[in-house]
C-alpha cells in the first residue's frame, strides 16, 4: 500500500492541466526580494504575503500543490485558520522544502553543495504527521570553465538519492531538483551537456538504490543558454530539453516538473507550451514555478499591501497561463 500511496500523490501533482506553485523561498531569499521592492522582511509580512498566495480564490483550478518552507506550514491566516487546513480544503497537496541550503564544496571558491541530511528522517516523520505529502531537495550546478566538477556531481547525487530514500520510507513523495543555473555566458549546447551529465549519474544511482520511480518527481530546468548570451527560440529550447529528458529519464517516473530558474514570466510559459506541441510525451510534464507565477502579484502587493485582491488576480492569471501551457494551449 505504501508505494501505491506514493504513486497516487505523484500522479495527482502532475495531472493535467495543473502544476506546482513553489512558495518555498528561504527567509534570506524572501528578504532580498522584499527589500528590492521596499517591503520590510518581518515574519508578519512574510506570513501576510503567503496568506495572499494560499488563499487566492480558484488557484486550485490550476495548481495541484504548493511547496513551502518550515515557517509557512506552521502559520495561519489573520483570522487564525492554519494554512495547511486551507490547502486541504482546496484539494491541494502540501509540500515542504527540506534541504538546509548551500555551503561551500571542498576548496572550490565557486561550487556549492546542499546540506540538510542530518536529522532528516525525524523531520520527515513530523511533516508527515502534519499532513505534508511531498518534499523537495535542490542541488545547484554552475557552468563555468570546467565546472561543474565530476566530484560535485557525484556528491550532490549521493545526497539527492539519500534524501529520496528517506522521503519514500516516510511515505512522502520526493522531488529531486538538480538545478543547472542560468547565470553565465554558456551556450545552449553547453547547458544540454551538463544537464545530460547530471541526469545520467542521478538516474543510475536512483536505480541502484531501488528508489520507487512512480513515487518520485524530477524537477529540472529547461535547456536554455546562459543569461549573458542571446536567448534561444522556443523550438530550440524544446528540442534540446526533450533530447535531454528523453535520453535519461525513465518512462515509469511519476513525472517531470520544470523550474523557471530566472526566466522571465512570458518565456517560462512559452517554452513550457512549446514542449507540449510535439505530440505525446513519455512522462507527465508540467510546471513547478515560483517567481514566474508570483512576480506580478508580489510587485502589485508591494505597491499597496492592502490591495490583496488585485495581487491575487495577477497570480491567478499567471497560474492559468501556465496551466494552459502545460497542455499546449497557451496562445
Task: Report the catalytic residues.
Answer: 177, 219
**Three-state helix/strand/coil letters over 252-279:** CCCEEEEECCCCCHHHHHHHHHHHCCCC
For the domain with range 2-325, which CATH number is right: 1.10.3720.10, 2.102.10.10, 3.40.50.970, 3.20.20.70? 3.20.20.70
pLDDT at 278: 87
Looking at residues 245-271, what average pLDDT do you find? 96
Q: Give the span between the Cα atoms of 253 and 85, in whole angstroms.
A: 29
Q: What is the pLDDT of residues 66-84, one digit of tens each?
A: 999 999 999 999 999 999 9
| Sign, Cα dihedral of 101, 316, 265, 294 | negative
**Residues 8-40: b if buried by 16+ CB within 10 A, e if exposed:** ebbbbbbeebbbbbbbbbbeeebbebbeeeebe
At residue 255's C-alpha, the angle toward residues 259 and 201, to 5°, is 75
Q: What is the pLDDT of residues 110-144, one digit of tens each?
A: 999 999 999 999 999 999 999 999 999 999 999 99
Q: In the structure grid, which three cell numbers stand for residue 113, read together? A: 553543495
Looking at residues 187-196, what average pLDDT do you find? 97
Tell me the helices (H) and strands (E) count for the chain, helix number first: 12, 10
Domain boundaries, the chain: 2-325
In DSSP notation, 25-37 reads: --HHHHHHHHHHT
Q: What is the pLDDT of residues 93-104, one digit of tens each?
A: 999 999 999 999
Q: What is the pLDDT of residues 215-250, one digit of tens each?
A: 999 999 999 999 999 999 999 999 999 999 999 999
Q: Report CA-CA distances (Å) from 238 to 52, 129, 135, 252, 268.
A: 33, 40, 27, 21, 12
- Strand runs (DSSP E) across 53-194, as ranges? 63-68, 93-97, 102-104, 112-114, 134-141, 173-180
pTM of this structure: 0.97
Looking at residues 173-184, what average pLDDT do you find? 97
pLDDT over threshold 90, residue 331: no
Q: Give the span between the Cα atoms of 151 and 105, in whole angstroms.
A: 9
pLDDT at 88: 98
Q: Give the span between the Cα atoms of 195 and 241, in whole angstroms.
A: 9
pLDDT at 89: 98
pLDDT over threshold 80, residue 1: no
Cβ count near 102 (within 10 Å): 16
63 contact partners, CB below 8 Å, separation of at least 6: 18, 19, 20, 21, 92, 319
Q: What is the pLDDT of residues 271-325, one digit of tens each?
A: 999 999 988 999 999 999 999 999 999 999 999 999 999 999 999 999 999 999 9
* DSSP-derived 3-state class of residue 300: helix
What is the gyration radius of the CA atoms in the chain, in angstroms? 19
Amino acid at each position: 500500500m505504501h508505494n501505491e500511496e506514493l504513486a497516487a500523490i505523484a500522479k495527482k501533482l502532475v495531472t493535467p492541466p495543473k502544476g506546482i506553485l513553489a512558495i518555498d523561498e528561504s527567509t534570506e531569499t524572501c528578504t532580498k526580494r522584499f527589500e528590492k521592492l521596499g517591503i520590510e522582511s518581518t515574519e508578519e509580512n512574510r506570513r501576510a504575503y503567503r496568506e495572499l498566495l494560499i488563499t487566492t480564490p480558484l488557484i486550485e483550478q490550476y495548481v495541484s500543490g504548493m511547496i513551502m518552507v518550515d515557517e509557512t506550514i506552521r502559520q495561519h491566516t489573520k483570522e487564525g485558520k492554519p494554512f495547511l487546513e486551507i490547502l486541504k480544503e482546496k484539494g491541494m497537496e502540501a509540500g515542504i522544502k527540506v534541504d538546509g541550503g548551500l555551503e561551500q564544496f571542498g576548496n572550490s571558491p565557486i561550487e556549492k553543495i546542499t546540506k540538510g541530511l542530518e536529522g532528516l528522517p525525524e523531520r520527515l516523520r513530523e511533516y508527515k504527521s502534519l499532513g505534508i505529502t511531498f518534499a523537495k531537495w535542490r542541488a545547484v550546478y554552475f557552468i563555468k570553465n570546467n565546472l561543474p566538477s565530476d566530484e560535485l556531481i557525484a556528491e550532490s547525487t549521493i545526497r539527492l538519492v539519500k534524501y529520496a530514500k528517506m522521503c519514500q520510507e516516510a511515505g512522502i513523495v520526493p522531488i529531486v531538483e538538480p538545478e543547472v543555473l542560468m547565470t553565465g555566458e554558456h551556450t545552449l549546447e553547453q547547458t544540454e551537456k551538463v544537464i545530460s551529465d547530471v541526469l545520467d549519474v542521478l538516474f543510475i544511482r536512483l536505480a541502484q538504490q531501488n528508489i520507487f520511480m512512480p513515487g518520485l518527481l524530477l524537477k529540472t530546468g529547461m535547456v536554455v543558454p546562459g543569461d549573458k548570451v542571446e536567448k534561444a527560440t522556443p523550438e530550440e529550447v524544446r528540442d534540446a530539453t526533450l533530447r535531454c529528458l528523453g535520453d535519461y529519464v525513465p518512462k515509469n517516473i511519476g513525472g517531470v516538473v520544470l523550474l523557471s530558474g530566472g526566466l522571465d514570466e512570458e518565456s517560462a510559459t512559452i517554452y513550457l507550451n512549446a514542449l507540449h506541441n510535439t505530440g505525446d510525451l513519455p512522462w507527465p510534464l508540467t510546471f513547478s514555478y515560483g517567481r514566474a507565477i508570483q512576480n506580478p502579484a508580489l510587485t502589485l502587493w508591494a505597491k499597496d499591501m492592502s490591495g490583496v485582491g488585485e495581487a491575487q488576480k495577477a497570480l491567478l492569471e499567471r497560474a492559468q497561463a501556465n496551466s494552459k501551457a502545460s497542455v499546449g494551449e497557451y496562445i
